[in-house]
Amino acid sequence: MERETLQEERQLQNAVVRLNAKLLGIVTGLLLGIGLFLATVVLVLKGGPDPGVHLGLLSQFFPGYKVTFLGSFIGFGYAFFTGYLIGIVLGAVYNKVARI
Amino acid sequence: MELLPKTRVELRLRVHLGPHVVEELTTPAQQTTIPAPVLLAFAPLHRMALGAAAGVVYGGMMFVLTEILVLKGGYPLGPNLALFGEFFYGYSVSFTGGFVGLAWGFGVGFMLGWGFAVVHNLVIWVWLVIIRSQAEMEQYGDFLDHM
């Protein structure tokens, strides 16, 4: 019994989580995309003379993005793509180093 | 004929097996002890791997964002991104600053990823200890009732 427990503990210590890079990419992409979409929509709904001055700076990296209702969909696309790339790279590098 | 007193004899055998044979003997036993889904649920994260991965992502982002602004040009050059210079000594929105940002980003990302994995593994370990102690309590809780 005790030997089995020790063996199980050793197996758990030796085991390492492997990441599914594609899945991680989709999850990260969705998180970033929905996050930017919601942030933009909230600022648009709040309104004001010049809504989202700081969030609008993202247009430096995401051409076409604006703090408008249409811009929130464009932002979702850009952020999803960026998040997908981040997830893919994160998963790929992790799995490669973990295998060493 | 004399009877010898009963003694306990310990027989030790040393068998030399090649690595291939040892692997064949040990692998199936190890595989069957813990089911794969359980192993997957409780397996720890690789600290160095997650650190390296987060470092590559963060450092790469710092580099790419800086160089995009440098290539676009204009004046002032990236006043908002340049605020990272307050924390990352030597960083500025310039061509060489992109490489400084890459190094800083890798360092900070590595620490974040490594720290995340350490905390994740610690929580899993505590969780396992709690589950195991609960299971033992259930198994031996009525021990005195059977006396």
Residues of A in contact with B46 (CB under 8 A): 16-17, 94, 97-98
pLDDT at residue B20 tops 90: no
ipTM associated with this complex: 0.81
Q: How far apart are alpha carbons A65 and A51 in whole angstroms?
A: 13
Residue A17 CA: distances (Å) to CA of A14, A36, A93, B28, B84: 10, 30, 13, 20, 33
Nearest to A16 among B43, B57, B72 (CB): B43
pLDDT in tens, B91-139: 999 999 999 999 999 999 999 999 999 999 999 999 888 988 888 888 8
- Contact yes or no for A93 and B46 at CB 8 A: no
Residue spans of alpha helices (H) in B19-94: 19-33, 36-42, 47-72
- Supply A27's token pair: 């999850």
Q: How far apart are alpha carbons B20 and B43 in whole angstroms?
A: 26
Find, in chain A, the residue whose alpha carbon is nearest to that of B65: A61
Question: Using alpha carbons only, how large is chain B's radius of gyration in Å?
Answer: 29
- Contact yes or no for A89 and B57 at CB 8 A: yes
Residue with tokens 């408008």: A68
Which of A50-54, B23-27, B47-51, B90-94 is predicted with the least confidence, judged by mean pLDDT? B23-27
Residues of B in contact with A4 (CB under 8 A): 33
Burial of residue A85 (CB within 10 Å: 0-12, 13-18, 19+) is middle
Which of the four pLDDT bands, split at 50, 70 and 90, describes residue B33?
low
Nearest to B42 among A12, A60, A93 (CB): A12
Q: What is the structure's pLDDT at B146?
A: 73
Q: How far apart are alpha carbons A97 and A92 in whole angstroms?
A: 9
How many Å lie between the alpha carbon of A64 and the closest alpha carbon of chain B? 15
Residues of B in contact with A13 (CB under 8 A): 44
Dihedral angle of Cα A69, B80, B69, A86, to the nearest 10 degrees? -70
